[in-house]
Each structure stands twice: as structure tokens, then as C-alpha cells.
Structure 1
Amino acid sequence: HDPMIPDEHLEDRMAKEAVRFLEQHADEPFFLNYWMFSVHAPFDAKKELIEEYRDRVDPNDPQRCPTYAAMIESMDDAIGTLLDTLDRLEIADETIIVFASDNGGNMYNEVDGTTATSNAPLRGGKATMYEGGVRGPAIVVQPGVVEAGSRSDAIIQSIDFYPTLLEMLSIDAQPNQMFDGVSIVPALQGKPLQREAIFTYFPHDPPVPNWIPPSVSVHQGEWKLIRIFHGGQNGSHRYKLFNLKNDLGERTNLAAKHPELVQQLDKLIEQHLVETNAVRPLVNPRFDPARYNLSAEGKGVLKRTGNTPKKTKPRVHRKPVAGWLPGGTCDLSVSNNVLRVESTGGDPHLSFSLPEVVKASPMTFTVEMQSNSSGSGQIFWKEIGLPYNAVRSQVFDVTHDGNVHTYSIQLSPKGPVQGVRIDPSNGEGQIQIQSMRLLDDSGVTIHEWTFADAIR
């Protein structure tokens, strides 16, 4: 991320990077795996879009979160950017597109005083075994092969994409290669999809609304069975059976009414766990079903996040001073030909993007400054494609006696350098920087900073 681009939205930057990848590989086979951030916590959207949707909220609609709506619009914009790029590069007709989610919508973070989204009429959401957590739409595009606008009610999983793409691309599997999923090409052609069952294994216990204790489920036809591990008498399993054709919201547990079907579907679950060598939850010897409150299941608490009254202060995008971007716990200003760093303690630092990339070689950074703060100093260098990191830095001792001192720090970059950062102290106080220079291994100045004519 380039710190010199203020207010840049992550989804916009991701789309730019994806476009760059497409442009670089347009003349050869490529695979782009693009995970969208804009459907996920933390909930960070463009302010102007949030306000636009806030004016359109229907309080009676379960989809009433303006922040999430703004995030979805940014996601849509990013997808549009990629599709436009395929058209511009004239490769749209040769590109397969798969658009899908790995889980249902988030139903337990509170944003704008409501849940981020709603999966109605499905029950539950992300991190639950109910359909609201595991069922989502998928779109597959292959011009000239998959009919535009066609639909299928076949149930698929992400494990199906690999064998599907191999078949769509006429690529043979490796000898003795096995797949967890099946090719969904028949469904894409409007034909029935033949498979015995689909399994979902979630042996966890997240404290979210609509939670279920550690469990595994099987879908077969219109039926779904959930096995709750060791949730019954004497360490036995407990079951929930739903007919999704008649009860997509999973409100009526039919396990007691169809014991033979429960047994039949549970055999499929057991076979799946054995074949996959799954790690299973153990029996809790102290579990007492008589003291367990079944009604407590699915009673998780909403987590406040996003734009709620209890949210911490919003992130402030700070502007560079004399080309230096303040970070951490400091503010910058220029007066009397010096760069003043006002630190409140913790991690004061300031960074600078060099006007030209400098080739990798030993360098020296010199700084002339005075300080009444405390702690050691540290110089970082930013190599292309890598963030500022302690492995690309050098610590130096600082004298905080209020007098001017000059420090020379040796840097040893392994790759081309595009930026430098100075952490002048660790404590509270004021640092005044008179000048800084970056020198190559021959002592020639690469860049020099003085503040006589700096913008205040």
C-alpha cells in the first residue's frame, strides 16, 4: 500500500492490482484468485456511499445496514473494473469466471445499530451449520459454453471448482489423482448433477447467534442431517433432521419422526469421517445432558463493531509535512528551518517515498537533530513490494539532552529501495530535525532533506 495515496479504499487498490496482473498475463494462460475484502469485517466503507445508503434505509427491511451496502457497492465496482479490463484486453470470450462465496453472510456483528446483513429466509449465518451459514449463490461464466442467464438448483461446494475447471479446460488429471469434489459441468449445461451427498464439517463452538455445538452435516437430495457430537445421553450423538424442500428455514427437527432416515444419513457421515481421516471431538466425561439447557443453543450475542456508538475514534488520514508522512504517536510541523516532531510516546515515526527507486547497495542515512524525548532510534528502508519491517531496519542510540547531535546509520538493503522511515525515539517529547541525508556506498548524496523552504 502506497502511503502517499490518501483515503485509498482497499477494494479499489485490490482491483488495480488485479488489473495489473491481467495486463501482464493477457497473452498467456493465467489463474487469478481474487478474494474480496468488502463483504468481511472490519466494516470499512467510503463515507459518501454510507451517507447515500443511509438516506435509503427501510427500517422494515432486514437488509438495512448502510455501511454494508456501501461495501457491497465497492465490491461491485471492483468486479466491474475486472470485467471491463477483460473486454479492453479482448480476452473476455476466452476467460472463465467463477463468482462465489465460501460462507453465508455475517449475522453476528452489529454495524449501524443492526446486523451487517440478513440471510432470510435461511436460518443463521456465517460460522453456523444452518443453511444461512453454508448456502450461497454461485455464478459461472464461460462464453459460448455456459448459456447466459441459465440457472441450476444443483447444490455444489468449492471443492468442486478444481475438477470442474480441469474439465472445462480439457486438462487431464494427473495419474492416480483424486478429488474431494466432482465436476459440475453437467449442471452448467442444464443437466442433473449426479453425486451421493455433500458434507460440511465444522467441529467448532463459536459464540455466535444460531450456533450449534461441534457438528457435521450431510445433504442428500431434499434432506439434511446434522450430527452434534456427543450431545446426547451417555456420550451418544444428537441429531437434527430437516426437509429443505418444505422447510428451507430449518425450523422443524424431524429426527424423532424419521429414525431410519437419520440412521441411513448418519452412516454416510461416518463413512465420510473415516475416509477423510477426520480429527473428531472427544467425549467430555463431565457433560451431563440433564443439566444442559438446549434452549441456550443459538443464543449468541451480537458483537458491536463497524459504525456503532461504541466504536473507537475513526482512523484519521494524515497529510505529509515537507514530504514526510507522520505515523504512530506523533505530529509534524515546520518552523525556523527545522522539522518538529511532537511525540506523545509509544511509536512515533515518519516516512518518505523517494522520488526515484534506488538500486540495492550499502547506504548511509545521516540525521542532524536534537531531542528531549527518550529511547533509541531506528531507521527503516522500504524495498519494492515489501512493507517497512524490523528485518529491514537499523537501531541507533540517541542522546536526548536537548542539544544538536548528528547520527550516521549504515543500511544494507537486499533489493531496490523506494522509501525510508525514521523512528526518532520511543517516548514523549519533542524532536527537532535540522537535516537528513541518504548517501550511497561511495558517499555521494542520493537525497537530502533541509527545511528552510519547506511547506508549513
Structure 2
Amino acid sequence: MRLLLFIALSLCLNGQEKANVILILADDLGVSDTSLGGSKLYQTPNLERLAKRGVYFTNAYAASPLCSPTRSSILTGQNPARTGFTAPHGHLENVVLTARAGKAAAPSKRQVSPVSVNRLSTEYLSLGKVFKNAGYKTAHFGKWHLGKSPYSPLEHGFDIDIPHWPGPGPAGSFVAPWRYPNFKENYPGEHIDDRLGDEIAKYISENKDQPFFINFWQFSVHAPFNAKQELIDKYRKLIDKNNPQHNPVYAAMVESMDDSIGKVIDALETNKLMEKTIIVFFSDNGGNIHSVVDGTTATSNKPFRGGKASIYEGGTHVPAIVVWPNQTKTGVRNDSLIQSEDLYASILEMAALPVDYQQAKDSISFVPVLKGQGAKRKQVFTYFPHSPNVPDCVPPSAALRIGDWKLIKVFHDNPDLTDRFELYNLANDQGEMLNLASQNPEKVKSMNEVIDQYLSKSACIKPIKNPKYNSKFIQSSGKLKARGHGIFSKDKAGLYIRKYADNQDMSFTLPTPALKAGKYTLQMDIRSLSAKGDILVKGFSPGTKVTDFTKINLVDDGLWHQSTHPFTVIKTPSKVMKFILDFPQGQLHLRSLKILDENKDQVINLKF
């Protein structure tokens, strides 16, 4: 009897009866941010429930390290290089439907980034339209970030859109009071994840007798960083400072995200729809390692390098689960390469709906993988022609993974404005710390040819050389004077320093009060966000002898360290302190700099 039921259900899902489809997209959830990904802090039992019913992909990639571009790739089946949607600008007021070359950049920058599309054109046959045309009930819940009306979910095939919000994150807060114009909390302190889970459960119950497509794009775990106080208190007791993931607020946010998924699963089970529903879980980019919450970073993507807005693995390597009842092995892990644009063709094929490959040129169905027939995708291409100031950001670049090899092409980034390359073997170096480009010129050449061929084929708008670039330009902010290939930025939390490239000098100077000859101690509050190596510090006055060097070793753990370093001023007064960044590349954060005299009774605070 059970066998007959299994065969009957399989036939239904193969086309005689339409399967329901739920696409769940987390926001900023890194591959290491779940218990499935190895987290020792974050608790995601409902994702584990899904994984037990389906396939967990260990080599899933977002098309971009930022949200809007990845979202556009999912709905169209096109890489952001082709759509021109390369930046997270879907909330901006001006409308840009066609990418174009940029015009200007600061003289410290070697490239000018293109202007990104910021609306998903309604000319696309987006996923919602395909399902609606096939007779499905369609609903979008949560974040959109691809443009407000007339480019909202309602114009892309969805019958309803809750809460109908175009912003990059939740309106005001995760915990009520909210600021959605037409969507109010049911009770004080209601969490938006809980509410959306309840709304979806209600929708499932009301539409259980007809096929539906639910696009559940979660607000979690994007900024702003707030959560239920009881969950924050729960995780404060579980924090281990030796664990790179040690933020109780973020941990609480992850649990609320997972709870909302649990509400969806429960609703399917209650309405006896679990065996008739395809579920896909994905994330739009890697975890946020640049925002500071309660004095520490939001999360860590280790063992991977970088995070949100970085082209390194931590920015694009994401968690992915596919549940296709009675069509796949369950509770298994698969290491096949898949990318976010593949969701378009794969979801439609699982639902037995036609795929318009004239549009979905970059979408490669992974249905054969689910059926145990092997992977069709042999490479992963990432195009990110922008450079936000975040840990391990890279100047405008493209990346290609083929097998275990990954090549990053950084446009116009050598001193002579030729392209710079980074090559990594991910099998031996998943942290992308050992650049093998100089040792493998033929590998660089062959992979770069593949990148160039795709850039040409997709007709993408590429970064251009900055005509105003000045190699001798000195970045100045307050008393700080900086020189070299990188970015310096200041905020209330201190000074952020990002060095871009190996073997390229970078330094900054700060004026000090006149220091007489004698012994002193330099005291620094410093943390490395990706930098491995040393800082060399010396004091000098123009035309005088230099004091001895002080070497500061960087501990790359994302934690604050107070370093004390004795140094000596000789002969004439020292009036300037120079910091030479003697590490290959990466980012660090300075919170305070103090000089103490020999008796440590005089403290001089150096201002940034």
C-alpha cells in the first residue's frame, strides 16, 4: 500500500498535479551562520528539519556579494554582469534601468565603477510571472529591494506583497514598533519574523486546495541589529570569546529567522502539504563581518575569508537546501557547484514548468544533481565592479572558480593601471591567503581568458581607468595623512584601514606633541579584521635622525587587543609618528592611540 502511495505521489509531482513551491531567501546569512555550516553558537533546528528532508549544498554561491544583484539573478536567471544590476541600490529614488560607465572617482582610486541598474525591469519574465501564468496563486513576503512601484512584486507576477516595503532592511526595527506605512504590529514588541511566519501560515491554510508559489524573502539577518531581549539574554550565557562567532544579538537574530521557517514547515504539516511542496532555501550573500554590534563584529565567516561586499569566499559562499519530496535522496550533502541564477531554471523544472532560456542565459538547472545524474555547472562566475569599505573588500573585480582553482581579476589595480590577479587553490587554501598567481602564469592566463569571454558575451559595463588617478595623492582626514593603495575611514568607533594589495606600500602619519629624548610606551587598542602581519612604527622630525622601529604584530581574530610597545626618542624632538603597514593586504581597526612617558604618569592621546 505504501509503495502504491509513493508511486501515485511521484506521478503527481511529475506533472499530473502541480506542486506547491516555497522559495526562502535569507538576507546576509553566511555559510558558517547555521548549525549545518558548523556554527557552535547559532541554533537553527528548523533548517536542520529541512535538510533532513532534502539536500544540503556545500558549494552554493550567490551571484554577488551584495543583495539586490543576487535577487535579480534569482528572478531572471541572469548574472548581474548581464542585467547590469551590480549594486544594492534598489531603494534609491532615482530610476536607472540601464547600466552605464561611471564618470569620476577620487584621485586615490585607480578605477571608476560603472553606474548600476537599480530597478528590476518589468520586461523580464520573472519567476512570479511564470507561476502566475501557469495558474498558481502567488505571494511575496518580506524584503524586495529591487525597486518600489511600478517595479514592486505586484508588477512582477505576485498577487500579494506583504509588507510591501522597498527598503534594504526592515522598516525601523525587527521588534515593533515598525515603520511600514500600511502594515502594523498586532501587539507591542512583535517581531517581524514571527509576523511574516504567521502571515505565511495563514496564506497556506487559505490556499491549501490550489497550487501556490510563495516567495519568502526574509529581512533577517540584515541590519539594524536588534532582537528579542529574552533571546539576547539566552545567548549571552552561551558566549565563548574563543569562538569567532560571539555576538549574542546576532545569535538571537539567527534564531528568530529559523523560528519563522519553523512556522512555515508547521503550517505545511498541519495542512498535509509537506509531501506536495518543493522548498528551496538560499541566502543572498555572505555574513556581515563589518558592522559592530555591542562592541564586536556581527558574525564571522571563518574558515572563509571576507564577508558581505567582498568577492572572497566569505562574501559569496552561502547555505542552500533543496527539498523535493520523493524525488531526491534525503538528509544528504552534495558538493556540486550551484549559483543563485540556477534557481530560476531549477525551480521551474522541478515544478514541471517551461524555462525560457532565451532570457535565463546564465541559469543552469541542478535538477540532474538532485536526481543523482551529475552536475552541469562546471564553474562559478562573480562580477562585482564596486568597492565598499568593508573588511577584505577588493577594488572593482571579477572572479572565476573552476574546480578547486579561483582567480580574482582586479581591474586596473597595478601601479601602471594594468589588471592585477589573485589565484588561490581552494582545496589547500579555503581561506584564500596564499596568492599563487606569480607561480602559475599559464593558469592565470587561461582562466582570465574565460573571464574576458564572459564579460564580452554578457555585454557588461566594465570599470574604467580613473583619469584623475594620482599615485602621489595624500588622503587627508583631520590630522591624519595617508599614502598608498588602500582606504582610510573614520567613524565614532575609530579608524578603519584597508590595504588592497600585496607588495604595494601603504602608510599613514599622525602629528604628536614634541617628544624630548627619552623612553616612552606606545599603547594601542587594535583589532585585525583580516590583516595578518605587522605594523612598523617610527617617530621622526623632518631633517632629523629617525627613532628606532617598533614592530606591532597583528592577531587576526577580530577581537580587540591592547598592545603596549616601548620606544626611544633620540637626539632631537620627535613631532610625527609614522605607521607603515607591513602586511600583504587586509583591514584593521584602531580605537585609541596613547603615548605614555617613562613613569607612565603622563598620557598623550593621539587624535585621528
TM over 0.5: yes
Name the SS for the 2:232 alignment partner.
helix
The 2-side partners of 1:142 and 1:226 are apart by: 35
2:339 counterpart of 1:151: no
Of the candidates 276, 289, 295, which is equivalent to residue 458 of structure 2? 276
Partners of 1:125 and 1:131 within 8 A in 2: yes
Encode CA deviations 1:178-204: one digit per residue, 9 max, x unaligned: 431200112223443133422111111
Name the SS for the 1:249 alignment partner.
coil
Structure-2 change in CA distance of 1:140 and 1:300 (3 Å): farther
Of the candidates 227, 239, 244, which is equivalent to residue 426 of structure 2? 244
Residue 187 of structure 1 is matched in structure 2 by 369
Residue 351 of structure 2 is matched in structure 1 by 169
Partners of 1:209 and 1:301 within 8 A in 2: no
Structure-2 change in CA distance of 1:16 and 1:3 (3 Å): closer
Structure-2 change in CA distance of 1:53 and 1:303 (3 Å): farther
Deviation, 1:143, is: 1.4
Map 1:421-436; keep pairs closer than 5 Å.
none
Map 1:59-78; keep pairs closer than 5 Å.
59-78=241-260
Map 1:224-263; keep pairs closer than 5 Å.
224-263=406-445
TM-score by length of 1: 0.63
CA RMSD of aligned residues (A): 2.3
The 2-side partners of 1:151 and 1:105 are apart by: 21
2:195 counterpart of 1:9: no
Of the candidates 207, 212, 221, which is equivalent to residue 25 of structure 1? 207
Whichever of the two has the greater Rg, that structure is 1
Encode CA deviations 1:362-391: one digit per residue, 9 max, x unaligned: xxxxxxxxxxxxxxxxxxxxxxxxxxxxxx
Structure-2 change in CA distance of 1:59 and 1:276 (3 Å): same
Name the SS for the 1:271 alignment partner.
helix
2:223 counterpart of 1:37: no
Residue 350 of structure 1 is matched in structure 2 by none
Identity of aligned residues (%): 46
The 2-side partners of 1:195 and 1:302 are apart by: 43
TM-score by length of 2: 0.48
Residue 311 of structure 2 is matched in structure 1 by 129
Structure-2 change in CA distance of 1:297 and 1:139 (3 Å): farther
Counterpart amino acid of 2:191?
A: H
Encode CA deviations 1:296-325: one digit per residue, 9 max, x unaligned: 658877986xxxxxxxxxxxxxxxxxxxxx
Of the candidates 287, 312, 317, which is equivalent to residue 469 of structure 2? 287
Q: How many residues align?
A: 304
The 2-side partners of 1:295 and 1:209 are apart by: 17
Q: Which has the higher contact order (CA 8 A, sep 6+)?
A: 2
The 2-side partners of 1:289 and 1:221 are apart by: 37
Partners of 1:43 and 1:68 within 8 A in 2: yes
Structure-2 change in CA distance of 1:6 and 1:159 (3 Å): same
Partners of 2:472 and 2:483 within 8 A in 1: no
Structure-2 change in CA distance of 1:266 and 1:183 (3 Å): same
The 1-side partners of 2:264 and 2:465 are apart by: 49
2:323 counterpart of 1:141: yes
Name the SS for the 2:345 alignment partner.
helix
Name the SS for the 1:264 alignment partner.
helix
Please, which moves more after superposition, 10-19 or 185-194? 185-194
The 1-side partners of 2:237 and 2:262 are apart by: 25
Of the candidates 220, 224, 228, which is equivalent to residue 46 of structure 1? 228
The 2-side partners of 1:294 and 1:243 are apart by: 32
Structure 1 spans left out of the alignment, 5+ residues:
305-456
The 1-side partners of 2:350 and 2:304 are apart by: 32
Name the SS for the 1:164 alignment partner.
helix
The 2-side partners of 1:114 and 1:239 are apart by: 32
Deviation, 1:260, is: 1.1
Deviation, 1:5, is: 1.6
Structure 2 spans left out of the alignment, 5+ residues:
1-182, 475-481, 494-608
Encode CA deviations 1:272-314: one digit per residue, 9 max, x unaligned: 111111111111134356879998658877986xxxxxxxxxx
Deviation, 1:85, is: 0.3
Partners of 1:129 and 1:212 within 8 A in 2: yes
Deviation, 1:132, is: 0.4
Deviation, 1:133, is: 0.4
Structure-2 change in CA distance of 1:216 and 1:26 (3 Å): same
